[in-house]
Amino acid sequence: MGRSHRTPMWILAGLLFAGLAAPAAAAGPDTLTILFTHDTHDHWLPAANEDGNGTYGGYTRLATLIKRERDTPVQAGDATSYRAPTVTLDAGDFSMGSLFQTIYSTDAPELRALGAMGYDAATLGNHEFDYRAAGLAQMLTAAADSGDPLPALVAANYKPPEEDAESRAAWDRFGVADYTIIERAAAPGEEPVRVAVFGLMGEEADSNAPMSGMDFYPAVDTAKAVVAEIQAKENPDFILCLSHSGTDNGKGEDYTLAKEVQGIDVIISGHTHTTLEDPIRVGNTLIVSCGPYTENLGRLTISKQGDALEVQEYKLIPVDDSAAEDPELVRMADQFQAAVEDRYLSQYGLGFRQVLAHNPYSFTPIRAFADQQREEPLGNLIADSYVYAVQEAEGADYIPVDFAVVASGVIRASFAPGDITTSDAFNVSSLGVGADGTPGYPLISAWIYGRELKDAFEVDASVTPLMPAAQLYGAGMEWTFNPHRLIFNKVTGCAQVLPDGARAPIEDGKLYRVVTGLYSGQMLGTVNGKSFGLLSITPRDAQGNPIDDLEAHIIHNANGAEVKEWYALASYLQSMGTVDQRYQAPEGRKTVHPSWNPLELLRNPNRIALILYAAVLAAVILVVFLVWRLRSGRRKRRVYGSHSRRRPARRRYRG
């Protein structure tokens, strides 16, 4: 299914209409409380804090807090309190992050949970498309057929193409729209607040859904058109945007959105998993984020007098051990858990809460993974599990894996000290669906040249600061880099680690077998783009021919089933019983060696550095030449000018 990025006629018409008919919001009730979440990622149940102290999150406890906060009055500055009209919203990626997602397409547990908690509206994030357009269509149909209360879904710039009749029918069946209008009063008999809510998908989020099959329309242009339509038709008191685009410390797509589009009162910003302790104000627009995985419930109360928007209250409410679980959500979780065991886990011979291994170590919490570039024992564990799973799947026909690699962007959770269950293992590698249509990204096998392996190490060293999800952890190779060196020339050494522990130099023209997840393979184009085309990694078959279809290179076991990333990890853990002590600390697979020593900065330049050095040298020579020409010209003009001034005097003397 094709994908396109375009500006349709309805957006252009909306932009024209904005200039002709965009009246201000009507006078009336001017206070609103917004309860909000984003990037909850199917976190139905409380999870152990990765430091081993207590638990966090869970829809079952979030439901309790939402009910409590709807009844909690706003504390005004003069110590008085009042109850404001309240809406509850989610900014996308409500799915994909736990075993509950395995019944996403058939049971829609996530949307039904949001409905049970009383959410008014939500938008779609990139991970709602992990099971592709067909999986989302099936989920929407299952949700609508359930008869349960459901939130409105708003998606203004991300839509099925005309040729995708199945998706269009499902979106229409559910009622997905550009925006929705919510009328909410603080109490019966009071004048209601009229709230318009629309949804957007960000450009980066779209790039992170390479198999979505959707048409993407520019977010800023779409927002201008939708806001104009809302203002002209709906007479709203507030306009809210559920944006799955992201922001980080005053940067990012949602910051640009707030800067470029007038008329949005609040942007609830998802996708980047940001936690904002205070709202970001851009002009007369507020940007808020409460963090991922149901860690917090956001609460924002705003008032509006004319065009002046004021924050009355903003707080992030921790979803922790202090909150009791809601009985209705616990009942729903139990029912869906039974369905997961019956329909999905039974084929692996595993139970939802079955203990796979005991973990005596404290792995780095997943939220700290992107903080700095370094080797992570959890990454080593996952990469080693890929090698183990391929050995088990291929048996006597095993072809040695030279490099198994996992990117930090697909590591979705970590392990706390204690018992590791099937659910815990799945949470770590919970993304996607295979070519077989079953949940979980499969492992793929490809071959790349040694020179491309070195580019992969440069991706880790140079692209990670631009794209943290690209940080790599591996098995079978080791590399060292200096972060202070020239970009795309940071790697100072690398070698293959042979099964006996010996090191061998990497040969540029040799093909090496690489195993990774399907999604990581699909994202190579994005990584190559982040390097401005200077780095290139092309998956190939064993004969060196470029691979066009990665799904044709999925690894299958002896029974013909896809080897899933999560099951590779689960089976490796189960084979150990107790996590091996080698994963207690880094092993030297990746070494970061910062140095400002000139020799360390310049030694072993690669082809990219040589090209850049040559370009700089040429520029210096050109500048020197131009300066020389300029000075030479000035000297000639001075000599010529002095001769010109003396000649008339000589003529007068001679006369």
Q: Could you read off the pLDDT of 455-465 as tens digits, one per residue?
A: 999 999 998 88
Q: Is residue 128 included in any domain, yes or no?
A: yes
322, 51 Cβ separation under 8 angstroms: no
Q: Between β-strands 472-475 and 443-449, what pairing exists: parallel, antiparallel or unpaired?
A: unpaired
- Model pLDDT, residue 470: 87
Q: Is residue 89 included in any domain, yes or no?
A: yes
Give the rounded percent of residues in the chain with a pLDDT score beyond 70: 90
> Are both 313 and 430 inside the same structural domain?
no
Q: Is residue 172 included in any domain, yes or no?
A: yes
- Model pLDDT, residue 603: 84
Q: DSSP letter string over 17-37? A: HHHH--PPPPSS--EEEEEEE
Neighbours of 91 (CB within 10 A): 33
In sequence order, which residues have a C-beta less than 8 Å from that of residue 24 and are 6 or more positions away? 231, 306, 307
374 pLDDT tier (thresholds 50, 70, 90)? very high
> What is the C-alpha end-to-end distance of the chain, expressed in Å?
95
> Are both 578 and 630 inside the same structural domain?
no
Residue range 224-237: average pLDDT? 97
Q: What is the CATH number of the domain that holds 167?
A: 3.60.21.10
Residue range 547-573: average pLDDT? 96
DSSP-assigned letter for residue 383: H
> Are both 349 and 446 inside the same structural domain?
yes
> Are both 424 and 278 inside the same structural domain?
no
> Are both 308 and 200 inside the same structural domain?
yes
> Are both 59 and 205 inside the same structural domain?
yes
Q: Is residue 490 included in any domain, yes or no?
A: yes
> Are both 392 and 288 inside the same structural domain?
no
Closest to 87 (Cα-Cα) out of 148, 28, 36: 36
Two tokens, residue 402: 């030279």
> Are both 274 and 387 inside the same structural domain?
no
Two tokens, residue 338: 């039974």
pLDDT at 564 over 50: yes
Residue range 221-244: average pLDDT? 97
- Model pLDDT, residue 369: 76
Q: Please give the model's pTM, rounded to 2 decimal places.
A: 0.84
Q: Is residue 6 included in any domain, yes or no?
A: no
> pLDDT tens across 1-25, in order?
445 555 555 554 454 444 444 333 3
> Are both 511 and 550 inside the same structural domain?
yes
> Are both 369 and 304 inside the same structural domain?
no
> Are both 284 and 358 inside the same structural domain?
no
Closest to 268 (Cα-Cα) out of 92, 101, 404: 92
Q: Is residue 91 included in any domain, yes or no?
A: yes
Residue range 546-553: average pLDDT? 93
Measure the CA–CA gap between 399 and 450, rounded to whole angstroms.
18
Half-sphere exposure of 46 (CA within 13 A, CB side): 20
Q: Is 338 exposed, middle or buried (0-12, 13-18, 19+ CB in 10 A)?
A: exposed
**Least confident range of 137-151, 319-333, 466-480, 532-546:** 532-546
Q: Is residue 15 included in any domain, yes or no?
A: no
pLDDT at 396 over 60: yes
Domain boundary among 260, 284, 318: 318
> Are both 185 and 277 inside the same structural domain?
yes
Q: What is the CATH number of the domain that holds 567?
A: 3.90.780.10
Q: Is residue 21 included in any domain, yes or no?
A: no
Q: Domain count of the chain?
A: 3
532 pLDDT tier (thresholds 50, 70, 90)? confident
Range of the domain at 78: 29-45+54-318
Q: Please name the residue ranges forming H helices in 175-279.
A: 203-207, 219-233, 253-260
> pLDDT tens across 616-625, in order?
778 888 888 8
- Model pLDDT, residue 524: 73
The CA–CA distances, whole Å, from 458 to 61, 213, 478, 594 equal 43, 31, 12, 15
Strand partners, 251: 248
